[in-house]
Structure 1
Amino acid sequence: MLDANIKQQLGTYLQNIVNPIEITVSTNGSAKSEELLSLAREIIELRSDKISLSVDENPAGRAPQMAIAPQGQAPRVRFAGIPMGHEFTSLVLALLQAGGHPSKAAQTVLEQIKGLDRELNFEVYISLSCHNCPDVVQAVNLMSVLNPKITATMIDGGVFQNEITERNIMGVPAVFLNGEHFGQGRMTLDEILNKVDTGAADKQAAELSEKAPYDVLVVGGGPAGAAAAIYAARKGIRTGVVAERFGGQVSDTMAIENFISVKATDGPKLVAGLEQHVLDYDVDLMKTQKAVRLEKKDLVEVELENGAILKSKSVILATGARWREMNVPGEQEYRNKGVAYCPHCDGPLFKGKKTAVIGGGNSGIEAAIDLAGIVEHVTVLEFSDTLRADDVLVKKAQSLPNVTIIKNAMTTEVLGDGQRVIGLKYTDRLTDESHLVDVAGIFVQIGLVPNSEFLRDTLELTNRGEVVVDAHGRTSMEGVFAAGDVTTAPYKQIIISMGSGANAALGAFDYLIRN
């Protein structure tokens, strides 16, 4: 299963195993079981002195399944399916952590995990093409390794489609805790911990409110926020970053091929590099914290959702943007039940089914091309009379036999049966005729909305909600700057956001030395 290069790298990683571990593979005679058993045997060959293998041919639970545990202990980490694709890293980390290799998570986080005092059984449904899923799988796996009251199981929806149907899962990652739905979509370790540790929010709020004022406080952790923090910290001034989700939209981006000097990369890799670069400096990074209010007093105050108030001499807003919604009847009701926003993550769940993509820009046409290789048929609906995507993408989509592109189409309603999407309605803008399209999945790709709702009564915004800034990144409030996709910057690109963040930091520094 593993090529020579992967085997060499894996063998190097497995040298970090300190304590013996055991892999148990549950089989049921299927081809997937043989595939999983083959993978396990290849792993054993690379470190047979520390890893042993047992096979359960009559399992009471899921099969195929791989369970990993320190030798002599009951397994608490399981992979139901074949942990390849994006989940191969999750498998490697599980092997290392079960074998005693320490996690890079903060010590306070590790202690918080160990202190959880109730039974927690996590089940995470994934698709191997989902780049958001590994974060969730790796988070609950680590919790399971550290705390004997916690178990974690990754479940490949492509292998266990009966469970996907029974639990009505139409988006991944889908997390169940003790049999009940716990969460949907990308979640960090901190977010999961805060949700299961009921006293964590109050404790964090108290600790955050006690922090000394900053010289520069960056609100947002995407490319603009990261660049602003690095430029500010390099000036030797007290810098903090508060972010609901470090990385922002970039975390959901796969192929990045226009980042100058880097021929090709992907979002998660770029985000990891951004975070490491920020932490190379003396920056106070506060993750999983959402800003809800901004106010200018003697200092600028930023209130967080948990009630904490952070103070700073200057603030740089870099809260970014999020996917624009259709705002039609049925969209919210069937969100994650057929209405989706990430074709890479959720596309495999619609294998062999009919789908629609809303939007004819680059993201919409790219989504149609990707889906065409998985689903039965893709219908692209574009509101305008022309497609905004690059010509090379349009030609590729038009060449595919199972892609239909309809222009001048205004989506009016998402239809469902109470459990899942069964179709959509659109109006032909030229004839005003209404049409029905039978689909099981709808992927919305119609642009971005700035994350600026909490600033409506505080700063000057455009009618689209963008923060108005000048050439120095200054907003309408003294001492407050803004950068990136949340602003009036005309082009929403990673490299432009980074330059915008650096520009705002220099503007903030100039403000500080003049005041």
Structure 2
Amino acid sequence: MFDKQTIEQLEQYLTLLESDLVFRASLDDSDSSKKVREFLEGVVALSSRLSIEETKLTRTPSFEVCRPGNESGVIFAGLPMGHEFSSFILALIQVSGRAPKIEEHLIQSIKAIETKLNFETYVSLTCHNCPDVVQTLNILAILNPNITHTMIEGSMYQDEVDRKKIMAVPAVFLNDESFTNGRITIEEILEKIVGAAALEDLSDKEIFDVLVVGGGPAGSSAAIYAARKGINTGMVVDTFGGQVMETLGIENMIGTPYTEGPQLMRQVEDHVKEYQVDIMKGQNAKKIEKKELIEVTLESGQMLQAKSVVLSTGARWRNINVPGEKEFKNKGVAYCPHCDGPLFAGKNVAVIGGGNSGIEAAIDLAGLVKHVYVLEFLPELKADEVLQRKLKSLSNVTVITNAATQSINGDDQVESLTYQSRLDDSVHTLDVEGAFILIGLVPNTEWLKGSIELTDRGEIITDAHGMTNVPGIFAAGDCTDSAYKQIIISMGSGATAALGAFDYLIRQ
């Protein structure tokens, strides 16, 4: 089951185990169980600290990672391969005794939970967002015996996926009730469970020389460049990584022929942590004011002060704002083909958007679904020619240009999509069970209106040094009026803004 490279990686990770472990496995004679048995036997053969013990769990096939004679509450139902292989490795290391790398106030909040919580996360092995959620919930189970978490591989438990009408992953259930869909941080999980008490108390923070708002490529670059100047640097982030966490293949990062968004941003976060940067996670800014100092008020009600600020709040997927889009989100309306595509195997789907993102999605989906309809508002596709050539070679793709989407229809989930032809105003309906919306980005700057000068598209206007119209407030990345929105450009603009902020400080 494992190739030579995977075996070598496994052997290296298994040397980090701090205690013996046993896989409590629930197996039978089914083909699925045979695959799980082969997987476990392959892992056990690599270390004398591992063993298998057959038992009966809620699902078959599944297995729990435990210390001998104990239960951990960390269960894998199905094969933790693909992107979930990292979740499996981390579970081994952490269940064996190595402490998770999270802030102490979060550890104490988790340990204080007295309610019995049974989390279940449905995943697809191609989903690059799922591992973060799986790993986060595993940490809760490891730290608190009142909590259990089961990763459920959707393809192996298709009957459950169909019965629960799961059309987007990761899909998290708590005590058999839907809890959340999509990416969620440990701070957000705790806030949903125990309230704002899980948030870090920021009242004793010193005045920052540079406060970075946002944790994507631009914000990370700004923090590194500021910290390297030896000045007091802080970062306010909701989820570290930003929009890049939704990006799978990255092939234009100079010096790195191929990487993936989550992998890149984990490396970037590790790089930031090499410096004295105060990272405040799970926080969103809602107001900024320039007084004697610059005051940033957070949604939690707390306030931070700084001598200069770098705004790097990034952007998010643009909505088409038609009836049905909001109502059927995660019920057929999706934004990530890599995460949710496998759930539409054998079905008809629509991709709205003819730019690079839309055509890349259509190409990927064509290998999974029955038929793909690409709807583009303009008379022609906007994607790069190489992508268009690939699209034209696919027999199960239909491109419809001059198409204005009118509505996404259905009862409990998506059943069809209606569009109007911009050529003759005729109205058409497509029988589809999924609608993937990829029409570009919109900056996360609504909270800045009235405080900072913005373009009519909501982008922050900056000068050559990254400064806004307010002295001491800088901006970088996709939230600005930069001509091109690219990861490497965001990183460069973050460096520019940090250097601009440093020059501003030494002139005060």
Which residue of structure 1 aligns with residue 367 of structure 2? 373
In 2, the alpha carbon distance for the partners of 1:354 and 1:63 equals: 31
Aligned pairs for 1:315-394 within 5 A: 315-394=309-388
Q: Please state how far the C-alpha of 1:218 moved relative to its aligned partner.
A: 0.6
Q: Please state how far the C-alpha of 1:134 moved relative to its aligned partner.
A: 0.4
SS at match of 2:357: helix
Flag the 1:44–1:244 CA change in 2: closer, same or farther, 3 A.
same
In 2, the alpha carbon distance for the partners of 1:377 and 1:408 equals: 20
Give per-residue Cα distances to partners, 1:288-327, cap 9 Å, x unaligned.
1111111111111111111010111111100000000110
Flag the 1:434–1:19 CA change in 2: closer, same or farther, 3 A.
same
Q: What are structure 1's unaligned runs of at least 5 residues?
A: none
The residue type equivalent to 2:187 in the other structure is: D
Is it true that 1:55 corresponds to 2:35 in the alignment?
A: no
Which residue of structure 2 aligns with residue 4 of structure 1? 4
Which residue of structure 1 aligns with residue 44 of structure 2? 44
SS at match of 1:123: strand
SS at match of 1:490: coil
Q: Please state how far the C-alpha of 1:60 moved relative to its aligned partner.
A: 5.9
Is it true that 1:483 corresponds to 2:476 in the alignment?
A: yes
Return the match for 2:264 from 246, 253, 270: 270
In 2, the alpha carbon distance for the partners of 1:514 and 1:16 equals: 50
Which residue of structure 2 aligns with residue 437 of structure 1? 430
Aligned pairs for 1:71-220 within 5 A: 71-201=68-198, 204=200, 207-220=201-214
In 2, the alpha carbon distance for the partners of 1:166 and 1:307 equals: 41
The residue type equivalent to 1:259 in the other structure is: M
In 2, the alpha carbon distance for the partners of 1:186 and 1:224 equals: 21
Which residue of structure 2 aligns with residue 510 of structure 1? 503
Give per-residue Cα distances to partners, 1:428-466, cap 9 Å, x unaligned.
111111100011111001000000000112111111111
**Percent identity for Structure 1 against Structure 2:** 55
Which residue of structure 1 aligns with residue 281 of structure 2? 287
Flag the 1:311–1:60 CA change in 2: closer, same or farther, 3 A.
closer
Which residue of structure 2 aligns with residue 261 of structure 1? 255
In 2, the alpha carbon distance for the partners of 1:16 and 1:235 equals: 36
Q: Please state how far the C-alpha of 1:220 moved relative to its aligned partner.
A: 0.5
Normalized against structure 1, the TM-score is what?
A: 0.96
How many equivalent pairs are there?
Answer: 508
Normalized against structure 2, the TM-score is what?
A: 0.98
Q: Please state how far the C-alpha of 1:502 moved relative to its aligned partner.
A: 0.8
Answer with 389-398 or 7-16: which moved more.
7-16
Asked whether the equivalents of residues 318 and 439 of structure 2 are also in contact (C-alpha less than 8 Å), the reply is yes
Which residue of structure 1 aligns with residue 64 of structure 2? 67
Q: Please state how far the C-alpha of 1:256 moved relative to its aligned partner.
A: 0.7
In 1, the alpha carbon distance for the partners of 2:154 and 2:393 equals: 30
Answer with 99-108 or 214-223: which moved more.
99-108
In 2, the alpha carbon distance for the partners of 1:230 and 1:5 equals: 33
Asked whether the equivalents of residues 213 and 285 of structure 2 are also in contact (C-alpha less than 8 Å), the reply is yes
Q: What are structure 2's unaligned runs of at least 5 residues?
A: none
Q: Please state how far the C-alpha of 1:75 moved relative to its aligned partner.
A: 4.6
Q: Please state how far the C-alpha of 1:380 moved relative to its aligned partner.
A: 0.4
Give per-residue Cα distances to partners, 1:382-437, cap 9 Å, x unaligned.
111111111111111111111111111111101011x1000111111111111000
In 2, the alpha carbon distance for the partners of 1:470 and 1:198 equals: 41
The residue type equivalent to 1:170 in the other structure is: M
SS at match of 2:259: coil
The residue type equivalent to 1:116 in the other structure is: I
In 1, the alpha carbon distance for the partners of 2:300 and 2:102 equals: 23
SS at match of 1:504: helix
In 1, the alpha carbon distance for the partners of 2:293 and 2:357 equals: 41
Considering only aligned residues, what root-mean-square deviation do their CA atoms show, in Å?
Answer: 1.3
In 2, the alpha carbon distance for the partners of 1:383 and 1:353 equals: 23
Q: Please state how far the C-alpha of 1:475 moved relative to its aligned partner.
A: 1.0
Give per-residue Cα distances to partners, 1:257-316, cap 9 Å, x unaligned.
111111111111110111111111111111111111111111111111110101111111
SS at match of 2:418: strand
Give per-residue Cα distances to partners, 1:318-337, cap 9 Å, x unaligned.
00000001100110000111
In 2, the alpha carbon distance for the partners of 1:229 and 1:96 equals: 30
Which residue of structure 2 aligns with residue 450 of structure 1? 443
Aligned pairs for 1:386-465 within 5 A: 386-417=380-411, 419-465=412-458
In 2, the alpha carbon distance for the partners of 1:215 and 1:99 equals: 41
In 2, the alpha carbon distance for the partners of 1:500 and 1:8 equals: 39
Q: Please state how far the C-alpha of 1:193 moved relative to its aligned partner.
A: 2.5
SS at match of 2:76: strand
In 2, the alpha carbon distance for the partners of 1:157 and 1:303 equals: 41
Give per-residue Cα distances to partners, 1:227-264, cap 9 Å, x unaligned.
11111111111111101111101111111111111111
In 1, the alpha carbon distance for the partners of 2:312 and 2:18 equals: 42
Give per-residue Cα distances to partners, 1:311-367, cap 9 Å, x unaligned.
111111000000001100110000111000000000011111110100011110000
Moved beyond 4 Å, runs of 4+ = none
The residue type equivalent to 1:336 in the other structure is: N
In 1, the alpha carbon distance for the partners of 2:268 and 2:96 equals: 29
The residue type equivalent to 2:279 in the other structure is: L
